[in-house]
Amino acid sequence: MNTRQLLTGMSLFLYSAFFLNQPAYSKEVTPSFQDYRVVESLQKVFESVAEKVKPAVVNISTISEVKINHPPIPPEFKDFFFHFGVPFPQFPDKFRTRSLGSGFIVKQEEEWAYILTNNHVVDKATKIKVKLSDGSVYRAKVVGKDPKTDVALIKIKVGNKKVPTVELGDSDRIKVGEFVIAIGNPYGLNWTVTHGIISAKGRHGLGLNPIENFIQTDAAINPGNSGGPLCDIHGKVIGINTAIVRNAQGLGFAVPINIAKKVMNDLLKYGKVIRGWLGVYIEDISPELAKKFGVKKGVLITRVMKDSPAEKGGLKNGDIIVEFNGQPVKNVADLQLKVINTKPGEIVKIKVIRDGREKVLTVKIGQMPGTEHLALEDLISKFGFSVQELTEDLRERLGIPRWVKGGVIVTEVKPGSPAEDAGLREGDVIVKAGTTPRNLRRVKNLDDLLAVIRNAGDSGILLKVVRGEGVFYVVLNQEE
């Protein structure tokens, strides 16, 4: 056999081996009846969820006022305009912004419908409008906000009208890989439905919220989806669509509904969010530390706060917390959630590794500082004024009469607010509050005023006010 014959034989062999093993692209693919049934069943699930949940999803539009801090203008610059007889230009000190978001109706009590959404959707809004799926539009009021989890609860007055509500699920039971459906108003395209899967659970360290335990999903989420529901295949809400990673695809994050439910229940019951507090700075332990201490999981205490529940309970810098009340501690986010979900005053057992040995400590959980301030911000902002407790220093500087015992002093009154309409001014001292002359009670501190406002509901509030040497009464009504 010569070279030409050898090359010809090899070419024929390779040609046959390549083409005889290729798939028959020309062969027609005919799906079976069973194939169609499977796809149609999945399609019906998505259709069912959309029909069930969409009516309870709302469009939220807000107007906010943003203050502008102008740099100081030199007198010479003003003199220049004055020299030529030209009025000095007046620069605006604020401007209005508009934004869109989503929300969903969770419950209806009497004439009020309550809506869960994101805090960043309604934060600093001066006006909030809610559009229902039937096209009706309502002015909304903020029940309360929680910046730490980016959850807010608002309400609309619907009267005798029956509105659709969603069913809340259990975000602790969901699993990675499950189908999910997101509904919202991306870019103003109302009641858009997208689907995907749960990509991950317990995402934290993203720098989006102080408290993070996000559900990650690849369901399409865009600006305007914020505050909308993330649902399972049964139509139960398992999360609040919250954030996206810009310039990325398939990276959306939702606040677990179990976190939102606690925030909602606390706001309705207490007017603020009640959280447990341990009082430690912590960080995840590295693989090297884990190997040295002989642990697989846990968190390292880098600092114990002075006079905190942790210090009183015997925790020390360098301790590694491995168990909290009998449950293993996985990481920083896991411990944070365990602590904040513990009722203040509850006694817990905390197992630590100290100097290579296990030690179990008994700690009385405290209440996270700052929740009272948030409640004050949420409740007082409805009427357009802010206050602080009357101290001796303020009494001296403002010349408050000595016969005024206790009270809170008005530090700011927003223009056009119910407080301004009622006649309140900066420097006024609120000494009594109630809903009628009969139930007026002394206001010794901030908590006294908050209690009256919280219990008053939507009725007007009667205030006894001291201004200079005079005393008068005002009635505050929430803006409709």
Domain ranges of the chain: 34-87+94-273, 276-367, 382-476
Cα 456 to Cα 448: distance, rounded to the nearest angstrom: 13
37-45 long-range contacts, CB within 8 A, separation 24+ = 45/179, 45/233
Cα atoms in the Cβ-side hemisphere of radius 13 Å centred on 475: 7
159 known member of a binding site? no
Q: Tell whether 134 is in a known binding site.
A: no
Whether 322 contacts 352, CB under 8 Å: yes
Q: Is 224 annotated as a binding residue?
A: yes
Q: Across-strand partners of 90?
A: none
Question: pLDDT 10s digit of each residue in the chain, 480 long?
Answer: 454 444 455 454 445 544 455 555 556 778 888 888 888 888 898 899 999 999 999 999 988 765 555 566 566 655 655 665 666 566 555 556 677 889 999 999 989 999 999 999 998 888 899 999 999 999 999 888 888 899 999 999 999 999 999 999 999 999 999 999 999 988 878 888 999 999 999 888 777 777 888 999 988 888 888 899 999 999 999 999 998 776 667 788 999 999 999 999 988 887 788 889 999 988 888 887 777 777 878 899 988 988 889 999 999 998 999 999 999 998 888 898 899 889 889 999 999 998 888 899 999 998 887 655 545 555 566 777 888 778 777 777 777 888 887 888 888 787 778 888 888 888 889 999 988 888 888 888 877 887 787 777 667 789 999 888 888 898 888 655
Catalytic residue among 146, 150, 284, 319: 150
Specify the pTM.
0.68
Q: Which of 61, 120, 195, 417 is catalytic?
A: 120
3-state secondary structure of 83: helix
User: Do 204 and 185 contact (CB within 8 A), yes or no?
Assistant: no
150 among known catalytic residues: yes
**CATH 2.30.42.10: does it fit domain 276-367?**
yes
Q: Is 120 a catalytic residue?
A: yes
Give the list of residues 6+ apart from residue 381 with CB closer than 8 angstroms, or none: 142
Query: Known binder of ligand: residue 218?
Result: no
Give how far Cα 468 sits from Cα of 387, 402, 463, Å.
Answer: 17, 11, 16
Q: Which of 195, 226, 334, 378 is catalytic?
A: 226
Q: Does 225 appear as a known binding residue?
A: yes
**Alpha carbons within 13 A on the beta-carbon side of 73:** 13
Q: Does domain 34-87+94-273 have CATH number 3.30.2000.20?
A: no
CATH 1.10.10.60 assigned to 382-476:
no
Intrachain domains 34-87+94-273 and 276-367 with the same fold:
no
Backbone angles phi, psi at 457, to 5 degrees: 65, -125
For 195-248, give the DSSP string: EEEEEEEEE--SSS-SS--EEEE-S---TT-TT-EEE-TTSEEEEEEEEE-TT-
